[in-house]
Every structure is written in C-alpha cells, then in structure tokens.
Amino acid sequence: MTGTVSARLTDELVGTAVEKAFKAFRRTGDLCRKGLLTGEEFRREMTQAFCGVFMGLFSDNKLELRLTGANFPQFAREYEEYLKGNCADGPDHLPWLFDVQGRPREAQEGDRKRFFGLMETFRLAPEYFEPAPEGMPVPDLVPVHMYSSAAVYGTHFRCVDDGGLLTDADPEGRTYRLKNDLGLEAVLTVREDRRQTDRKGLDFDEIVCRTDKGIIVAKAEFLAEGHIEGYTARERSGDPAVLIRTGDCGKKVSWLAYWESPADRAAREAHPLWREYRRWCIEKETRRKVILDALFDGFRQPESETH
C-alpha cells in the first residue's frame, strides 16, 4: 500500500461512534435494571447499538471486511500481535479489510489498526468474525434497502451461461435461462434492453460508483422479470422485477438485484443448497452470542464498569 490515499477513519470518527454506542449501552442497561425491558428486548437494543459501529461505521466510510478460510488464520494472528503492541502485518500478510470506494483495494494501515482497536474496545475475539469453511456454498446476498413488507437485495451472479442474452440484439419479451458457477438458474424475461439508451439515473438497487472522476450513476443494462433459483420463489407473489447488470466490459452478467417478498425469503431459507450453511450459521450465532453477552451483561449490573 502506498501512503497516497488517506485512511477512511479518524480517531474523532471512531471516538464519536464508540461514545454513542456506550451511551446507548448504559441507557439500555439502566432500563433493564428498572424492569422496563425484557431480556430479549435488552439484547436487541444492545445489539443494535453494537451494529451501529461494526456495520454502520465501516459501511458508511466505504470499508468492507472480507474474511475467508485463506486469510482468517492470519487475521487472528495479526490481532494477537496488535494486542501485544507489535506490528500487525507479518511477511505472510493477506488483505482482509478493503476500501471499496471505486475499485476495491486494501484499506490503509490506519483503518486496519482502528478496526483492531474497536475489537479490543468491544472485547471481540477473532472467532466473532470467523468465515464459513472453504468450499461451503454460501448465498451471496447483498442488502440494498429494507422496507416494511419487502426488501431489495443484490447478488454477484457469477454467470457461466447467459442463455444467449448478451449476444441477442433484440431480447425484449424473450426469456433466458442464466446459470451461475454454483449451477443455480435465473429464469428471466427481459422487459427493457437499455444498452443503447441513456442509462443515467438511479435504479432500485441504488448502485452508485464513486471514481476518481466523480460519482457515476447508471441504470442496469436490463430490466427483467422472473425468478432466481436459491434466492426467490419460483412463483413470485411480490414485485417480480429483476435488474441485470454486466461486468467485464459488458461481456458477462455479473449482478442481479430483486425485490424480496416474504415468500421469496422462505424459498431462499428452504433451498437445499444452503442447508449446510444454515446449520453453520446457527453455530456461528451461538458463538457470537457468547462473545457479545460477555460485554452486554456487565451493563445490567448495578456497579457495572462502562467505557
């Protein structure tokens, strides 16, 4: 990494976020001690304040944690070295925190150190962030916007067969079977082919690219309708619209975005390809609960030590 790009986070930003979280922790703990919150309500409020830092702070500043089976052991070792006061980066350093404004690149050292500092402040073990085992099929689900009865999600659809969509000069009204690298099929009927039109504007997947030349906002190349195996119900009860975006200079379908209804969510959660992942998620949430409860429970005690 060169030093030409500034870190996204500053001590002031981090300090403000931490103080806001611990203020919420103290307030929630006080309400719980007074009997105004149930145990479930207490934990929900505490978790929301916690996520404001470990999700909101980083996403708002275009930083993304990307842990895999390959880099997680090194991430854990670097954190141990950080706690000892040693230089975190070793000779086998692999990137794990990314600056995703524009083309993704490894985050600056200052951002990585502040991430470790927040882990120490919130008493998080590396196991809190442990990724799914290598080779386990995992749904690639990117939340875009949440509404009361629906949500917008996107998925990086690593397409290996687009059924002829991108080579068809007149695809409107035609149905295509797109297959990804996991063998999942998206059966989509094209309603609008926008490739030769002015695509300026914001689609419902809210894609905004920040580049060195400024902000670029463009609608998806295709507006379609249909279902995505593993993500939606076959018979869509909600809005059937699906956005199709391409990558690799328009040579490959790379992104699908859709409206998720309760029926879609149920179909996704029941899909057999994610069965092993669902079991692993239950185990992961149990581990996370133990780690967070060690932090949260102190705020329910009358003489709790707070930040």
Output the DSSP codes for 17-47.
Answer: HHHHHHHHHHHHHHHHHTT-S-HHHHHHHHH
Q: Cα 68 to the chain's mean position, in Å?
A: 14
pLDDT of residue 90: 65
pLDDT in tens, 261-298: 999 999 999 999 999 999 999 999 999 999 999 999 99
Q: Is the pLDDT of residue 54 over 90?
A: no
> pTM above 0.85?
no
pLDDT of res. 3: 43
pLDDT mean over 85-92: 74
- Whole-number Å distance between alpha carbons of 136 and 76: 21
Alpha-carbon gap, residue 17 to 273, rounded angstroms: 38
Tokens of 124: 């998080």
List, edge to edge, every strand of the sheet that includes 142-146: 142-146, 151-155, 252-260, 241-247, 222-228, 185-193, 175-180, 159-161
Does the pLDDT of residue 304 top 60, yes or no?
Answer: no
Sign of the dihedral defined by the CA atoms of residues 244, 248, 254, 259, in that order: negative
Backbone CA torsion sign across 272, 137, 286, 59: negative
- Helix runs in 88-131, H state only: 109-121
Could you tell me if 58 and 111 are in contact, meaning their C-beta atoms sit under 8 angstroms apart?
no
Question: How confident is the model over 176-223, as pLDDT tens digits?
Answer: 999 999 999 999 999 999 999 999 899 999 887 766 666 778 899 999
How many whole angstroms separate alpha carbon 279 and alpha carbon 272? 12
